[in-house]
């Protein structure tokens, strides 16, 4: 066994702009593998009400002045710095019992989440401070009164109360969406492993990237923290269901309708499809995934597989294959790089797991229980595999979460039974299904979906590229209904919106446009002799407009376009057939001909600040165009989003094509990249 000596650090909290210590002795935190003291933690006597106010006023004000893109770039810089320093965190992480592979999920997985949110926000949000959601809702016939949903950052603080199992990822995956939204955070890590979070926060603050007040840290007990929350704050929680339910009922939270997101116990299932017999690739993939999910981080993952649901005739083969994998484990101090599974985070957790296993044993027999050797000292626990022959008639195996390397194998007889077994978890973060049969995939996934936040389908085709059962991804929902807490963390912009207020605004189009910074149909445009494509971003204004001359579409145009492109669809080429079509009165112009003619009408051909057209959004053809119709275009600068890290930005143009009777023929957004300056100064 490696001998390690730690300096016992007195952990501090970073509150109201300075590092502070609690009053009194504090609690000693020990290394999970060696039981040596690592740190002392204490938050007694700290003024948490003041800290929340400080975050709201200082951090909220500073973040509120920044655009989504500025906040996103701030996260990217932070992620780069943390990545440079990652070895410091890896070294500290050993004390939590994590092997280097376990720590990768926590440390680099967490930093990766910052990168992912940074790029998602810059791609999917405008470079503004208000997020416009969905289309304008017309509320009057003459377009003088419309509605629009907007999202703006809450004026409170996000209080993130985290679990002990992911001291880095748990913090980073929550601060990323909060900070993008523009809401400051106060992070309260679980005491057991807070020394690693504290170390990372010290490096974050030392980097001096976040504005003052954007991030605070509370090391130690939460004391009266939640009693001071308001209706503009958000509380997120990961941990035990008991604590979560208590927080949900906190009088301040109830009185103020404080937003609360909870992620608690989840008895996640893995299901083997009835097609996946021993010898099939899906059988092997299933066994590998279950063994990995039971043992990674010694089973202390919210997404770990607790219930292994298999066809009755496959139960013995699955059990034998899992036992063979568990036998190969090397359990020990994670500093030894031959070790494949470390200890639980603390002796308390080990005792807790052992007592939960006893509860499970009231309904299930032990088929594998710790025959591989484990070190005597430290919070070690060997894998436990239980078997329950009558799972539909059992309760504890679906309800008792042993938060360690523990799983229960349970057989099913029909697909309906397998689905019903997944439901008995009463709501989980994730389930996985291993099948290569599309019919089984359809029936089971649709059956399982209402009870799960995520469902992974594993088969031979995705085996090499699958991110696996246990990995929450920044772009996909992480959270689950019912027992899993009912929260929805991550999931791209969905989680950013959790920290913002959605408001429906109603009014005249020009006033809606003033609020959203977008041109709204129905407002006046600004036409002038200079073509808007001659204007750089420095000169272009929302509402700058071009109204083109008319161009008449002839039958020759339609035939030429058909021959040239190969699109000789009957509605363009055959008068009699077109007449039989319920939508047309005769041959019509191609939709793409209309779009092409529109481009020909609005284009400004000389070299200039418009650099590229990168697509169109929301294209709709509204009125058929027949030979003899005359098209014209109204093109209006609708949204301008300069990129911070480039010398150009995106411009979205509202493009309305109409005919000689002023009927709308086609409508869409044209998306262009436009130089910030023209001629460029470089
Ligand atoms: P807890 O619910 O006790 O703690 C979770 C977090 O809540 C910690 O930061 C803790 O702080 C904090 N907390 C505890 N009491 C309060 C309170 N009164 N007010 C505000 N915050 C509070 O869970 P544990 O971390 O001890 O884990 C216990 C069990 O929870 C595990 O064995 C497992 O079954 C389950 N769990 C489930 C997870 C999941 O995602 N599904 C993740 C982690 C755990 P402090 O540490 O300072 O007490």
Residue ranges of domains in the chain, CATH in brackets = 9-131+166-230 (3.40.605.10), 268-484 (3.40.309.10), 525-675 (3.10.129.10)
Q: Is 278 left (phi over 0), alpha (psi -120 to 50) or beta?
A: beta
Q: By alpha-carbon position, which residue is closest to atom 17 of ligand 1?
A: 222
Alpha-carbon distance values, 63 to 4, 116, 119, 209, 230 (Å): 42, 20, 18, 12, 19
User: In 3-state terms, what secondary structure has residue 575?
Assistant: helix
Rounded distance from Cα 349 to ligand 1 centre (Å): 11
Q: Would you tell me how many other CB atoms lie within 10 Å of the CB of residue 343?
A: 31
Whole-number average pLDDT of the chain: 94
**C-alpha span between 204 and 370 (Å, rounded):** 41
Residue whose CA lies nearest to ligand 1 atom number 21: 222
pLDDT(142) > 90: no
- Residues with Cβ within 8 Å of 602's Cβ and at least 6 positions away in sequence, in order, are 546, 548, 633, 635, 655
Q: What is the chain's length?
A: 682
Lowest mean pLDDT among 17-26, 46-55, 428-437, 564-573: 17-26
- Of 12, 92, 263, 401, which one is the catalytic site residue? 263
Summarize the confidence of residues 564-583 as an average pLDDT: 96
Q: Assign 207 to helix, strand or coil.
A: coil
The torsion region of residue 408 among left (phi > 0), alpha (psi -120 to 50) and beta comes to beta
Q: What is the pTM of this model?
A: 0.90
pLDDT at position 682 is 59
Please confirm, yes or no, whether 263 is among the known catalytic residues: yes
pLDDT of 289 strictly over 80: yes
Q: Is the peptide bond before 492 cis (omega within 30 degrees of 0)?
A: no
| 3-state SS class at 27 | strand
Of ligand 1's listed atoms, the one at least distance from the Cα of 352 is 32
Q: Compute the distance between CA of residue 144 and CA of residue 457 in angstroms, rounded to an integer.
A: 50
642 in Cβ contact with 609 (< 8 Å): no
How far is 429 from 59, CA to CA, in rounded Å?
32
238 lines ligand 1 (CB under 6 A): yes
Token pair 């003052």 in the structure block, residue: 212
d(CA 116, CA 553): 47
Report pLDDT for 3: 41
pLDDT tens sequence across 431-444: 999 999 999 999 99
- List the residue whose alpha carbon is closest to atom 37 of ligand 1: 239
**What SS3 state is found at 344?**
coil
Please say if the pLDDT value at position 644 is more than 80.
Answer: yes
Q: Which residue owns the Cα nearest ligand 1 atom 28?
A: 240
Whether complex ipTM tops 0.85: yes
Say whether 302 is catalytic: yes
pLDDT score, position 1: 39
- 508-512: Cβ within 8 A, 24+ apart: 508/144, 508/145, 508/146, 509/136, 509/143, 509/144, 509/146, 512/136, 512/146, 512/148
- What DSSP line would sit under 159-202, residue for residue? EEE--SS-TTHHHHHHHHHHHHHT--EEEE--GGGHHHHHHHHH
CA of 595 to the centre of ligand 1 (A): 58
Q: Is the pLDDT of residue 172 over 80?
A: yes
């Amino acid at each position: 066994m490696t001998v390690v000596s730690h300096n016992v650090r007195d952990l501090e909290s970073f509150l109201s702009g300075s590092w502070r210590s609690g009053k009194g002795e504090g609690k000693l935190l020990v290394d999970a593998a060696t039981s040596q003291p690592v740190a002392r933690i204490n938050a007694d006597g700290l003024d948490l009400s003041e800290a929340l106010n400080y975050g709201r006023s200082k951090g909220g004000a500073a973040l509120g002045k920044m655009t989504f893109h500025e906040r996103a770039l701030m996260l990217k810089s932070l992620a780069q710095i943390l990545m440079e320093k990652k070895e410091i965190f890896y070294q500290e992480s050993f004390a939590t019992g994590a092997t280097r592979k376990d720590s990768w999920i926590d440390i680099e997985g967490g930093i990766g989440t910052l990168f992912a949110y940074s790029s998602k926000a810059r791609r999917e949000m405008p470079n503004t401070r208000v997020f416009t959601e969905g289309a304008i809702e017309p509320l009057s016939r003459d377009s003088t009164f419309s509605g629009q949903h907007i999202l703006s950052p809450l004026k409170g603080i996000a209080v993130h109360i985290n679990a002990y199992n992911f001291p880095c990822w748990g913090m980073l995956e929550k601060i990323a969406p909060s900070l993008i939204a523009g809401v400051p955070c106060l992070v309260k890590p679980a005491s057991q492993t807070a020394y690693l979070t504290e170390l990372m926060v010290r490096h974050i603050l030392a980097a001096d990237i976040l504005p003052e007040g954007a991030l605070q840290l509370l090391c130690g007990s939460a004391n009266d923290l939640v009693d001071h929350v308001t209706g503009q704050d958000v509380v997120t929680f990961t941990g035990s269901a008991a604590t979560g339910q208590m927080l949900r009922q906190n009088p301040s939270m109830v009185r103020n309708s404080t937003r609360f997101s909870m992620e608690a116990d989840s008895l996640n299932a893995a299901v083997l499809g009835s097609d996946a017999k021993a010898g099939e690739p899906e059988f092997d993939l299933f066994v590998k995934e279950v063994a990995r999910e039971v043992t990674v981080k010694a089973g202390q993952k919210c997404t770990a597989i607790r219930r292994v649901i298999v066809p009755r005739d496959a139960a013995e083969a699955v059990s034998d294959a899992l036992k063979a994998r568990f036998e190969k484990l090397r359990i020990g101090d994670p500093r030894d790089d031959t070790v494949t599974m470390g200890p639980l985070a603390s002796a308390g957790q080990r005792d807790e797991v052992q007592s939960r296993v006893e509860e499970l044993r009231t309904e299930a027999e032990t088929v594998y229980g710790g025959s591989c050797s484990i070190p005597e000292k430290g919070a070690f626990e060997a894998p436990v595999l239980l078997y329950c022959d009558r799972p539909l008639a059992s309760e504890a195996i679906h309800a008792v979460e042993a938060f360690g390397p523990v799983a229960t194998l349970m057989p099913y007889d029909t697909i309906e039974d397998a689905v019903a077994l997944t439901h008995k978890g009463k709501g989980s973060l994730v389930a996985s299904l291993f099948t290569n049969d599309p019919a089984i995939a359809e029936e089971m996934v649709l059956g399982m979906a209402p009870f799960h936040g995520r469902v992974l389908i594993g088969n031979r085709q995705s085996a090499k590229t699958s991110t696996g059962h246990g990995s929450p991804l920044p772009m996909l929902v992480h959270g689950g209904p019912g027992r899993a807490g009912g929260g929805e963390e991550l999931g791209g912009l969905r989680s950013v919106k959790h920290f913002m207020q959605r408001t429906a605004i109603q009014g005249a189009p020009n006033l809606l446009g003033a609020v959203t910074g977008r041109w709204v149909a129905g407002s006046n445009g600004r036409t002038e002799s200079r073509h808007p494509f001659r204007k750089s971003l420095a000169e272009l204004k929302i509402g700058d407009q071009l109204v083109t001359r008319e161009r008449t579409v002839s039958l020759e145009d339609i035939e030429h376009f058909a021959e040239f492109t190969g699109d000789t669809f009957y509605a363009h080429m055959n008068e009699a057939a077109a007449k039989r079509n319920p939508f047309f009165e005769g041959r019509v112009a191609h939709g793409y001909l209309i779009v092409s003619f529109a481009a020909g009408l609005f284009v400004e051909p000389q070299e200039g600040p418009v650099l590229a057209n990168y697509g169109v959004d929301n294209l709709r053809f509204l009125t058929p165009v027949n030979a003899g119709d005359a098209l014209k275009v109204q093109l209006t600068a609708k949204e301008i989003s300069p990129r911070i890290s480039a010398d150009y930005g995106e411009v979205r143009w509202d493009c309305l094509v109409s005919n000689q009777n002023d009927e709308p023929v086609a409508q869409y957004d044209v998306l262009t990249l436009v130089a910030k300056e023209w001629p460029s100064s470089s």
